[in-house]
Structure 1
Amino acid sequence: MWARWLNVILGFWLVSSPFVLDYRLQEAQLNDLCVGLGVILLALAAIAVPKLRYANTLLAVWLILSPFALGYGGYRVPTLNAIIVGVLVGVLSLVWDHRTWTPHRRPLTEA
């Protein structure tokens, strides 16, 4: 569950990063705001429903590709922020929580 909470924190970072890092590219700002809110909501939902953590994997892939898809890949600060946070969110979304795993048990059959 700790990985979900770290993704919540990374989501808050994404929402605030355009202001903290002072980049004024509208595409980057809007992307970070939307993806950040999505990461927060999905990470909180994944605390209750662990399989939802994989949805953040999709957002992480988008976050890594978004500077190039949205045309601001030539701007160092927002691009590095998106790639680094995207990698972190992706890795954290794949962290397995042993408490949510239940082994599949075959029924015993009589011989």
Structure 2
Amino acid sequence: MENWTNAKLCDVANLVLGAVLFVSPWMFGFDAGKVSQNAMITGLVIAILAIAALAAFAVWEEWLNLIVGLWALISPWALGFQGTALTVHVLIGAAVAVLAAVELWLMSQNPPRLTMGR
């Protein structure tokens, strides 16, 4: 665990958040329509991007996670749903977007360096 960076911890958190969003229709009893479809698809995309970032970090993964997190945040108003589904989407979307922004900021502060030799 000593080799884990803050960026990897953010990716693990995004993986957990994506999984929670994916299963939220069953956990919180969303309807079987567009609300649950949006939760499952968005959660799956967040989780896949987090796994990809854990496997091999690339800046584009964080930009996509930021976009998907923002989508989860605004989707209740874009798709017209409310109640518990709205709360879950807003909280998870905001958390994913913030974590992606933190990772992008960390990268800008400490860009990866190529080493020669060794």
Check whether TM > 0.5. Answer: yes
Distance in 2 (CA, whole Å) between partners of 1:29 and 1:102 is 39
Q: Percent identity?
A: 26
* 1:72-111 deviation digits (Å, cap 9, x = unpaired): 1xx210001100000000011122356x7236xxxxxxxx
After TM superposition, give the deviation of residue 50 of structure 1 in Å.
3.2
Distance in 2 (CA, whole Å) between partners of 1:89 and 1:9 is 10
Distance in 2 (CA, whole Å) between partners of 1:70 and 1:46 is 29
Distance in 1 (CA, whole Å) between partners of 2:77 and 2:32 is 13
Gaps spanning 5+ residues in structure 2: where? 1-7, 114-118
Distance in 1 (CA, whole Å) between partners of 2:48 and 2:65 is 10
Q: Secondary structure at the match of 2:96?
A: helix
- Aligned residue pairs total 101
Bigger-Rg structure (1/2): 1
Give 2:39's aligned residue.
32
Q: Secondary structure at the match of 1:9?
A: helix
Q: Counterpart amino acid of 1:56?
A: N
Among 15, 20, 31, the alignment partner of 2:27 is 20
Gaps spanning 5+ residues in structure 1: where? 104-111
